[in-house]
Each structure stands twice: as C-alpha cells, then as structure tokens.
C-alpha cells in the first residue's frame, strides 16, 4: 500500500504553511497593491480624458477669439484706410481752395495793375493833350497844322500800342 513517509508529510505541511503565508503576506498585499494601481491608472486615464476634453473646449474658444480678433483687426485696417482716404480728400479740397484764393488774389492784382496802367495812360494822354494844346496855342496853328498834329499823335499811340489795353 502506500507507505507514508514522515518526511514527506512534513514537506506537505511545510508546503501548505508556505502557501498560506504567501497568500496572506505576499499575494494579498500584491493583489491589493495591483488593484490600487489599476484604480489609480483608471483615475488618471479618466482625468486625462477630462483634461483633453477641456483642452479641446479651450482650443475652440481660442480659435473663436482668434477669429474675432482677426475680424476686429480687419475692421480696424478698413477704418484706417477710410479715414486716410477722407483725410486725403480734405487735404486736396483745402489745396484747391488755397489755389483758388491765390488765383483770385492774382487776378485782383492784375485788375489793379490794369486800372493803374489805365490811370497812368489817362494822365499821360492828358499831359500830352495839354502839351499839344499849349504848342497849338504857341504856334497859333491853323486848321491844317491841327489835323497833322492829331494824326501824328494817333500814329504815336499806335506805334506804342497804348490804344490796346486788352
């Protein structure tokens, strides 16, 4: 039959005690530690997923803000261009007004010079007429000399183009 050796019996008892000790002090804490680690990893994964969702939400918000900022900057540029064009038109209008004023002033100066020239011409004609009259009286001119004097005066005026003012 079976011969049971006491050594073998003690080895089986030792083996069972070893199994019980390993299970109690080694497998229990290791499995507990692995469960905790698995729970922590799962929590970290969940947290990472939440953070990823939050990051995507922030990214969408930033993209919306960026789009708004680009729109605002485009509006600012367009506004600046509009103001610059308006300012340019104002400067051109002002320059045209100044040019018109200068033109009016110069035309007034020309008109004044023309009036002065006419006045001077009248004075000279009056002076010449007085001289002619005095010469006529001095020479006691007859009708023929009087006609010759007038013709020479008219020829002199045409020669100097004093009769043409325009």
Range of the structural domain that residue 125 is part of = 6-160
Q: How many domains does the chain have?
A: 1
In a domain, 54, yes or no: yes
* pLDDT at residue 162, rounded to an integer: 53
Backbone angles phi, psi at 69, to 5 degrees: -65, -40
In a domain, 166, yes or no: no
Mind listing the pLDDT tens digit for each residue in 42-74?
999 999 999 999 999 999 999 999 999 999 999
pTM of the shown model? 0.41
Q: What is the CA radius of gyration of the chain?
A: 62
In a domain, 1, yes or no: no
In a domain, 165, yes or no: no
Mind listing the pLDDT tens digit for each residue in 27-50?
888 888 999 999 999 999 999 999
* pLDDT at residue 99, rounded to an integer: 93
């Amino acid at each position: 039959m079976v011969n049971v050796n006491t050594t073998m019996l003690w080895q089986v008892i030792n083996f069972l005690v070893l199994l019980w000790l390993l299970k109690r002090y080694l497998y229990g804490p290791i499995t507990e530690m692995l469960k905790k680690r698995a729970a922590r990893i799962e929590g970290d994964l969940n947290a990472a997923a939440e953070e990823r969702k939050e990051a995507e939400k922030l990214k969408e918000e930033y993209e919306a803000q960026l789009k708004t900022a680009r729109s605002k900057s485009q509006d600012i540029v367009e506004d600046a261009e509009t103001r610059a064009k308006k300012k340019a038109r104002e400067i051109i209008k002002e320059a045209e007004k100044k040019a018109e004023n200068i033109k009016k002033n110069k035309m007034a100066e020309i008109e004044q010079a023309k009036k002065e020239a006419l006045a001077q011409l009248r004075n000279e004609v009056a002076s010449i007429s007085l001289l002619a009259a005095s010469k006529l009286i001095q020479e006691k001119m007859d009708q023929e000399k009087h006609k010759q004097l007038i013709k020479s005066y008219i020829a002199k005026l045409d020669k100097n183009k004093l009769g043409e003012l325009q």
